[in-house]
Structure 1
Amino acid sequence: MNAATSDIIIVGAGIVGIATAALLTEAGHTVTVIDRSGIAEQTSKGNAAAFAFSDIMPLASPKIMMKAPKWLLDPLGPLSIRPSYLPRLAPWLWQFWKASQPSRLEASIAAQTALMRLAETEMMALVERAGIAHMVRHDGSLELHESETEFKATLSGWRRREQAGIAFEHVRGARLAELQPGLSPRFVAGTFVPGWKTVSEPQHFAQALWAHAERLGAVFIKAEASGLERDSSGPSLRMADGTNRRAKTIIICAGAWSTRLINPVTRLRIPLDTERGYNTTLPPGTFDLKRQLIFGNHGFVITPLETGLRVGGAVELGGLDLPPNYERAKTMLGKAKSFLPGLETSGGTEWMGFRPSLPDSLPVIGALPEDRSVLLGFGNGHLGLTQSAAMGRLLADLVAGKQPSIDIAACRPDRF
């Protein structure tokens, strides 16, 4: 069938695709966004709502390599891999091990720091232009520790954040209770990050950002792209209904589904997998939560939203096809009750999402080697909301043929 033609097509209406569409339409481009589900209906719908701009420490690190064996012994713990999935995950784990070596860690921290600085600058400016500043909360975050040993194990990471200019305060006793009344006495210390931000509700925020892009001319089409194609006329998308769509530039922001689209037309083999995250959103009024609480040793957070209280996180490396294991959500909710004894845990809604994860904790940003008119922007792991505006700015720079706002060599698609 004849192919419909656009200026720019973005595949994926998650927060990264939305932010990219907003920045491109602001620059005067004609943009069409294609997604099979809708605006922010997948991973961007149920995330933990944080702008984690201070989260510069990669998941791939010697510290995590030391913790991982203990975590993996608990199938409902902070990190889980089902035994049946291990053979398929082996190449990813090999790359994760390589990225965790001390020789690689410094470069990863530097790249993540630069990306986070750009992310904060671009997102806060975009929020103002979109008129949605009221949806951003500036309450900070509170990371909690159950023992002196656990607290001291975090100090090297905080020193690195201090070197990057990130403000924080280690707290105990009355100050800890002031920042969050009603905590279990099991917590001996905490770290307050005043610059940490959250959004009032992540899907509502993403939809409001899309409304800004739409006002500037962006168009959304609910349709399923089944694959990328290339010929002498340039790139096109093969759609599930048998049609084709062409564009001068195609940008793949399809999160965990991205490599399924590009693999048939590229020699690249990007080791993309999923940090499957689980949560339970409790009704409003279940607890007076002052700010996002982070339980690092347990791998989850609790976030106050306008729609209730969200308890979730942790990592299950398990691809796209395994059935969900909602016992993971129930386990986190049970822990939350023990951490906040006054928490009412009935009436919640469980959810699971596919966070697109790369072994070195950095996204893919750049052109397809075989076709410079196909751009790739995916793989932000649990930092998609946080880094979305930076992704949009860098992809917009590439569309315009400009030098990217920061050095993106560490994010090049062929680095693996």
Structure 2
Amino acid sequence: MREVDVAIIGAGIVGICAAASLAEADRAVTVFDRTGICEETSSGNAAALAFPDVLPLAQKGMMRNLPRWLADPLGPLSIPPSYFPKLAPWLWRFWRAGSPRLYEKSLAAQSSLMRLAEAEWMRLLDASGTRSMLREEGALELYESDGEFKASLPGWQARDRFGFEFRHVAGDEMAALQPGLSPRFVKGTFMPGWKNVADPKLLGKAVFEHARRRGRVAFEQRRVETIAPSDKGALLRLADGEEVLCRALVVAAGAWSHRLAAPLGDRIPLETERGYNTTLPIDAFDVKRQLIFSSHGFVVTPLETGLRIGGAVELGGLDRPPDYRRSKAMLEKTRQFLPGLRTEGGREWMGYRPSLPDSLPVIGRSRNSASIVYAFGHGHLGLTQAAATGRLVRDLVTGQSPAIDLSPFSPQRF
């Protein structure tokens, strides 16, 4: 039986940042993934380092807009009718997460993680020589009516309490931030601390190369079927039958992670937000910074490799085929919001966001093995929180005191 020091299941951006952080601590790391480095969900996200995005989804207008959104099968939120019975327990927890008491706890925990995320990303970008991939133009959230703008104000007040910078804009100032907007948008909010990267897939691959240069880091394109505790750490059984013994194991397999955790006694209510996008040629429209159309549930991001239009939520699990009508619906809306947008030549994509009902990830040890660490469930914020999660994984694996209080992120909190 082969033995390794630290095994990581999942080569998405969270697993890659964990590998980089552990390499910096002089640990030997083997990353297992069925496809490649940042080839799945981490390849097609909106490229945001969304540090001000601390509001739980249950408090971001989703509950208020739920009836209207569900009435539109191609709108910001879709739930296939046949999936409702399976989803009902998750929806109940999601609704409860919007209660004032739980909301405040989630907001404080998310803000703490975001502060660490910003510090760790800036450090990692410098260490890996990828600072040139950072875009610091901020983001502009847009509103089509005074009523929509006023409904957003409690969320901005909450961000203000935790020190996140923003300013409300209108008229010429809004037009200067993004020329060519449809006149249907009457107000906006500009977040200067919101950052983006040139391309999330290219960044993930560059961070992994940094990890390889820094230490003993290897990648194996292998599927892990099961995991189990061992008196020497943890045992992985691969799809081809090989068994691998590791001193420490990190589960960062995104939307598939709960399937690995359940046999260990960790029943984690992870659901899959299936997100869609279309990436247009880079000259499709001159977008100055990420544009957020919150009432429609999607964003437009200028990348080094194209103009990405994506978002929305389809709560439909891991097994249903993609419904690319959803990406086409967002593209049509964007054509109305940005008159003159050229919509030809786009590439459609669908990915699986691993989401927990309280909008907080799981970062902590398995209940039955201190050698098994979970790092998944980041929802829309996997890229944003990856460097912080990598740092916290390193703290847990090496036995250091975590950089922040991890109790809100405990795998046992459910």
Q: TM-score, normalised by structure 2?
A: 0.98
Q: Structure 1 CA distance, aligned partners of 2:250 and 2:260?
A: 11
Structure-1 separation of matches of 2:162 and 2:268 = 30
- After superposition, where does 1:1-400 map in structure 2 within 5 Å? 3-61=1-59, 63-216=61-214, 217-264=216-263, 266-400=264-398
Task: Report if aligned partners of 2:232, 2:246 keep a CA contact under 8 Å in 1.
Answer: no
Asked whether the equivalents of residues 227 and 262 of structure 1 are also in contact (C-alpha less than 8 Å), the reply is: no
Query: Aligned partners of 1:232, 1:408: CA distance in 2, in Å?
Result: 25
What amino acid does structure 2 have at the position aligned with 1:244? E
Paired-residue identity, %: 57
Partners of 2:92 and 2:187 lie apart in 1 by 35
Query: Aligned partners of 1:300, 1:293: CA distance in 2, in Å?
Result: 9
Q: 3-state DSSP class of the match of 2:160?
A: helix
Secondary structure at 2:219's aligned position in 1? strand
Letter in 2 for 1:68: L
Distance 1:247 1:358 in 2: 28
Shift of 1:267: 1.9
SS class of match (2:42)? helix
Q: What residue identity is the alignment partner of 2:385?
A: Q
What's the C-alpha RMSD, in Å, of the aligned pairs?
1.0
Question: Which amino acid is 1:304 matched to?
Answer: P
SS in 1 for 2:210: helix
1:403 shift after superposition: 1.5
Deviation at 1:234, TM superposition (A): 3.6
How far apart are the structure 2 equivalents of 1:34 and 1:62? 35
Distance in 2, Cα, partners of 1:237 & 1:62: 39
- 5+ residue gaps, structure 1: none
Give yes or no for contact 2:276–2:349 (8 Å, CA) kept in 1: yes
**How many residues were matched structurally?**
413
Cα offsets for 1:354-412 (capped at 9, x unmatched):
00000000000111111110000000001000000110111111112121111111110
Q: Quick check: 1:170–1:192 contact (8 Å CA) kept in 2? A: yes
- The code of the aligned residue for 1:351 comes to W
How big is the shift at 1:304?
A: 0.3
- Separation (CA, whole Å) in 1 of partners of 2:318 and 2:399: 34
**1:36 partner amino acid:** R
- Per-residue CA deviation, residues 302-334 of structure 1 (Å, 9 max, x unaligned), is 000111100000111111101111000000000
**Conserved in 2, the CA contact under 8 Å of 1:62 and 1:102?**
no
When structure 1 is superposed on structure 2, of 56-65 and 71-80 the one drifting more is 56-65
Gaps of 5+ in 2: none
| Letter of the structure 2 residue corresponding to residue 132 of structure 1 | T
- Which one-letter code corresponds to 1:326 in the other structure? Y
Asked if the contact 2:261–2:267 (Cα under 8 Å) also holds between the matched residues in 1, the reply is no
Name the CA shift for 1:247/1:231 in 2 (closer, same or farther; >3 Å). Answer: closer
Whether contact under 8 Å (2:279, 2:306) holds in the other structure is yes
